[in-house]
Structure 1
Amino acid sequence: MNPLSIGPVVLPNRVFVAPMAGVTDRPFRRLCRELGAGHAVSEMVTSRRELWDSLKTSRRANHEGEPGTIAVQIAGTDAAMMAEAAAYNIDRGAQLIDINLGCPAKKVCNKWAGSALMQDEPLALAIAGAVVAVCAPRGVPVTLKMRTGWSEAHKNAVQLARRFEQAGIQMLTVHGRTRELGYRGEAEYDTIAAVKQAVAIPVVANGDITGPRKARAVLAATGADALMIGRAAQGRPWIFREVAHFLDTGEELAPPLVAEVRRLLLAHLQDHYSLYGESTGVRSARKHIAWYVHGLPGGDALRRHINQVQESRAQWCAVNDYFERLEQQMERLPRMNEAPAVSEQATAEGVHA
């Protein structure tokens, strides 16, 4: 796939991993990039200054050893605070700032952040303008992620897209659902196509991209410049190389070797423990392990077992032993159907794609 330029930033390809709270931390972003993602945006960082020193925010703002363009998503409801948050993250290494107008979670929308801002167009535009005013002199592009609207009766993505472009936003990602829908039903791509027709800046299509063939269909339906994959990458981070290869060649890659998945997951766990420490690392790794083994022989039993394990070494060994046994049963993982990824647990974890 051809690279994509966003101002001075050049992204190596056009298949991106979506920012997802509780998922796209530094270890996961690093893994997705290793497996073919051309762009990876951080979990959203709050614009509330009093929370910047919290452990959660300090982890999200930690980019030590991160490869590729460092892109940080910021969330908030005050234009001046959002501008300050952009500067704060640039000082900590951010090379691209993304504004969150897409998160549908109640705990975010109840504070009028995320997709709730689509109901207040003047405020959303003021935030975009303030963030661009801080970032542009530093040569840092500003992108924005939004939904098609707040509800079926209030779809305003097209008119907002035009005004965001005028405000200096340099790339737009559109999730093909309203906030009202959350993750229910199927993503609709006609609004994304209309946004693409309305602006000259790159447009990224997001929502229900579950594999290579669906990726090609979404590109054809929307005319988008790039694709963003969220929930389908949970436990299947090699989806990025699968999609990129298929779009380049029209050929599907074979599923990964069990031995490769074992190596990837064990390395991912070590990186995860290093960031979060023993106790939090063990707890927060459980969902990743469960996603990796979902639908595999003995996967449910492993999930139940690791939910009781309290030490990282024991958790790591349990995963290693499971995949060593699986290697004796199969050489490669079974080919996955292009169906929506497991999402109920993801939503409960506060994941936003």
Structure 2
Amino acid sequence: MSGLTLGPLQVATPVVLAPMAGITNAAYRRLCAEQGAGLYVCEMITSRGVVERDQHTLDMLVFDERETTRSVQLYGTDPVYVGKATEILCAEYGVAHVDLNFGCPVPKVTRKGGGGALPWKRQLLGEILEHAVAAAAPYDVPVTMKTRIGIDEEHQTYLDAGRIAQESGVAAIALHGRTVAQAYSGSADWSAIARLVEHVDIPVLGNGDIWEAADALRMVAETGCAGVVVGRGCLGRPWLFRDLAAAFDGTEVATLPRLGEVAAMMRRHTELLAHHLGEERGCTEFRKHVSWYLKGFAAGGELRRSLAMVSSLAELDALLERLDPDEPFPVSELGAPRGRQGSPRDRVALPEGWLDDTDGTGCGLTEDAVETTGG
């Protein structure tokens, strides 16, 4: 299969790393990019934070010196702010790709009409997309969007969203095959991805339940999507991008690293975090990844706890030496879900009267800092 074309942007392998809060920082993006080609997207940031030069937001807009294609996911509910933020990203940060988030299922986001709730307001969605596309056009930067099937099964939005995206000049649309109500529970509905492919002429990227490279190939075969978006499947397994690159190049690969190779990857990850954040903070940031890297391995609880409290590279090295380098990869973990799953929600948090009409502009929406895991 050939690469992915997003307007003027060519991606050698049709694979996109989903933005994940607190995960897809510059260090992790470089770590994954060292494994295989693809498009590696920065953590999601708010448009208001960019426009108002919020320091926390700007701190997230950090790129590795070897990051050749700068890609950012933007969240916003105000068309003017989204447009201004897009222009700033293109003009001042050299961003080559802007993705807009309309898929976040977090209640504090949907309660304000953002994320996966926003496509219900078709006029507002169109205005946001048009502002972003117009702002990016002078810089020849493609704008894409990510969304979900809908708020719940009774309030589906993805086909309308695809039509509006195409009419607005969006370069591609990514669809997570779950509703907001499902969050990350249950199974992704790949048939919705196939229906969207039939519905629009722009490229569709499929997202949801890609745990192995074989899953990505199967999704493409079953849905006709132009590429895949990988989130939770790569947690503690950055080498998945090596497998994906090989798979799309026609080689079937399933990397099964022994624990010694995993330990080396853990060391490299922490080293990159220390490079970008300083040693102490880098080690602190690494702690959340320990359980993902060691998932299924026999490493004892005491050692895991120590690794999850590591505060220096020297301490990390000493602890990693205690792992059995020859322990084989736990094949029982292949194809198994990773990261958060949770339970479906009986009711999605929405603004008062949100479902009363589908063509409102969502006037009065407020935009706060938000987090989303992607995938």
1:12 aligns with 12
- In the superposition, the TM-score normalised over structure 2's length comes to 0.86
Identity %: 34
2:56 aligns with 56
SS at match of 2:59: helix
How many aligned positions are there? 345
Distance 1:102 1:50 in 2: 20
2:339 aligns with 342
The Cα of 1:238 is off from its aligned counterpart by 0.8
1:262 aligns with 263
The superposition leaves residues 156-190 of structure 1 with CA deviations (integer Å, 9 ceiling, x where unpaired) of 20121011111000011100001111011100011
1:128 aligns with 2:129: yes
The Cα of 1:315 is off from its aligned counterpart by 4.5
Distance 2:275 2:111 in 1: 33
The Cα of 1:288 is off from its aligned counterpart by 1.3
The Cα of 1:55 is off from its aligned counterpart by 4.5
The superposition leaves residues 55-87 of structure 1 with CA deviations (integer Å, 9 ceiling, x where unpaired) of 432232111414232111110110000111111
Distance 2:50 2:88 in 1: 13
Distance 1:17 1:197 in 2: 24
2:346 aligns with none
1:103 aligns with 104
8 Å Cα contact 2:41/2:70 also seen in 1: yes
Q: Per the alignment, do residues 304 and 344 of structure 1 end up closer, same or farther by CA in structure 2, a change over 3 Å counting?
A: farther
Distance 2:301 2:200 in 1: 47
8 Å Cα contact 2:44/2:72 also seen in 1: yes
| Superposed counterparts of 1:89-238, under 5 Å | 89-90=89-90, 91-238=92-239
2:84 aligns with 84
1:272 aligns with 273
Distance 2:110 2:279 in 1: 32
CA RMSD of aligned residues (A): 2.1
1:352 aligns with 374
Distance 1:315 1:191 in 2: 48
Distance 1:35 1:76 in 2: 32
Distance 1:270 1:80 in 2: 40
- In the superposition, the TM-score normalised over structure 1's length comes to 0.91
2:324 aligns with 326
The answer to which structure, 1 or 2, has the higher relative contact order (CA under 8 A, 6+ apart) is 2
8 Å Cα contact 2:290/2:304 also seen in 1: yes
Distance 2:174 2:208 in 1: 10
SS at match of 2:67: coil
The superposition leaves residues 100-145 of structure 1 with CA deviations (integer Å, 9 ceiling, x where unpaired) of 1011112222232211212222111110000001001210110111
1:253 aligns with 254
Q: Per the alignment, do residues 132 and 254 of structure 1 end up closer, same or farther by CA in structure 2, a change over 3 Å counting?
A: closer
8 Å Cα contact 1:273/1:312 also seen in 2: no
Distance 1:202 1:95 in 2: 18
Distance 1:50 1:33 in 2: 26
Distance 2:207 2:319 in 1: 32
Q: Per the alignment, do residues 14 and 300 of structure 1 end up closer, same or farther by CA in structure 2, a change over 3 Å counting?
A: farther
Which of the pair is proportionally richer in helix?
1
Q: Per the alignment, do residues 73 and 220 of structure 1 end up closer, same or farther by CA in structure 2, a change over 3 Å counting?
A: same
More deviation, 271-280/134-143: 271-280
8 Å Cα contact 2:110/2:116 also seen in 1: yes
8 Å Cα contact 2:236/2:290 also seen in 1: yes
Consecutive unaligned residues of structure 2, counting only runs of 5 or more, are 343-370
2:75 aligns with 75
Distance 1:315 1:165 in 2: 52
More deviation, 112-121/168-177: 112-121
Q: Per the alignment, do residues 195 and 319 of structure 1 end up closer, same or farther by CA in structure 2, a change over 3 Å counting?
A: farther
Distance 2:64 2:32 in 1: 16
